[in-house]
């Protein structure tokens, strides 16, 4: 009788202490785990993203730079240079300035310009900002450390095109169009770019290319 009473006492003590007698039974069923949906590796973009503006500029009339032939030598291959009708292109906080294009009769070309992202006022004579000018776009862009610039260049034949209002004159055929030039520009680090190479269209339509157009945006 004493031994039986002792077992009841031990059981009560275990219950009070949360011992084995107080533990709930483990469920006997099992659940098969399911794979969780994956998260795509794309950059986050808010739903109300405003598309980056695209700006364009036409060049002035071409400047013929064909050198004079040397005595007793045949005529040299011609060169034509194009400069934009405005000193800079601005898309929000991104600038393209000092743009110039050279086409050669052999089909070779050179495209040069300077790119700035969030330029700071200073004494740099090549800066796209005017003396004393500060960048003010109405947007919060100082947190953007870098952007990808996208530049397109086309050559037109059969112009004249009014540089100020090209929508008020007849259109001109685009006989040369280069692939988009994409590159990264960081704040405080202006990039002077030079793209060169050979284009069969430049060689074919060299005498006809009157003006060029530069299209600029960023992402």
CA distance 80 to 100: 11
**Mean pLDDT in residue range 158-165:** 69
Highest mean pLDDT among 3-7, 63-67, 198-202: 198-202
In a domain, 33, yes or no: no
Q: Which of 51-55, 127-131, 176-180, 206-210 has the lowest mean pLDDT?
A: 127-131
Residue 27 or 71, more confident: 71
Pick 128 or 21 by higher pLDDT. 128
Overall average pLDDT of the 192-207 stretch: 96
Is residue 46 assigned to a domain? no
Burial class (CB in 10 A: 0-12, 13-18, 19+), 80: buried
Residue 179 lies in a domain: yes
Is residue 153 included in any domain, yes or no?
yes
Domains contained in the chain, number: 1
- The pLDDT > 90 percentage for the chain reads 42
Q: CA-to-CA distance for 39 and 42, rounded, in angstroms? A: 9
CA–CA dist 148, 139 (Å, integer): 18
- The percentage of the chain sitting over the pLDDT mark of 70, rounded to a whole number, equals 70
The pair phi, psi for residue 32, each rounded to 5°, is: -85, 120
Task: List the one residue out of 196, 211, 89, 108 whose CA is nearest residue 151.
Answer: 89
Strands (DSSP E) contained in 6-86 are: 55-58, 63-64, 79-83
45 belongs to a structural domain: no
Question: Residues of 155-188 as b/e, b for ≥16 C-beta within 10 angstroms?
Answer: bbeebebebeebeeeeebeebbebeeeeeebebe
Domain assignment present for residue 197? The answer is yes
pLDDT of residue 145: 77
**Which CATH number characterizes residue 171's domain?**
2.60.40
Cα separation, 85 vs 129, in Å, equals 17
Q: Say if 40 falls within a structural domain.
A: no
Q: Please tell me what DSSP assigns to residue 98.
A: E
- Label residue 20 by pLDDT band (50, 70, 90): low
Residue 7 domain-assigned (yes or no): no
Dihedral, CA of residue 81, residue 86, residue 89 and residue 95, to nearest 10 = 80
Instruction: Name the band, by pLDDT with cuts 50, 70 and 90, for residue 105.
Output: very high
Q: What is the mean pLDDT of residues 32-58?
A: 70
């Amino acid at each position: 009788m004493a031994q039986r009473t002792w077992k009841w006492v031990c059981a009560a003590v275990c219950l009070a202490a949360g011992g084995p007698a107080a533990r709930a039974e483990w469920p006997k069923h099992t659940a098969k785990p399911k794979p969780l949906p994956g998260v795509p590796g794309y950059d986050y973009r808010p739903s109300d993203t405003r598309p980056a503006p695209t700006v364009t500029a036409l060049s002035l009339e071409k400047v013929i730079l064909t050198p004079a032939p040397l005595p007793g030598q045949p005529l040299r291959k011609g060169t034509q240079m194009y400069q934009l009708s405005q000193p800079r292109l601005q898309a929000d906080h991104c600038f393209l300035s000092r743009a110039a294009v050279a086409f050669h009769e052999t089909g070779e070309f050179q495209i040069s310009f300077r790119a700035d992202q969030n330029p700071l006022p200073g004494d740099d004579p090549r800066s796209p900002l005017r003396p004393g000018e500060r960048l003010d776009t109405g947007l919060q862009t100082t947190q953007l450390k870098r952007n990808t610039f996208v530049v397109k260049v086309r050559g037109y034949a059969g112009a004249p095109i009014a540089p100020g209002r090209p929508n008020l004159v007849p259109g001109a055929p685009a006989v040369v169009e280069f692939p988009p030039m994409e590159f990264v520009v960081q704040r405080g680090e202006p990039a002077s770019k030079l793209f060169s190479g050979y284009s069969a269209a430049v060689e074919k339509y060299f005498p006809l290319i009157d003006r060029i157009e530069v299209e600029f945006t960023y992402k």
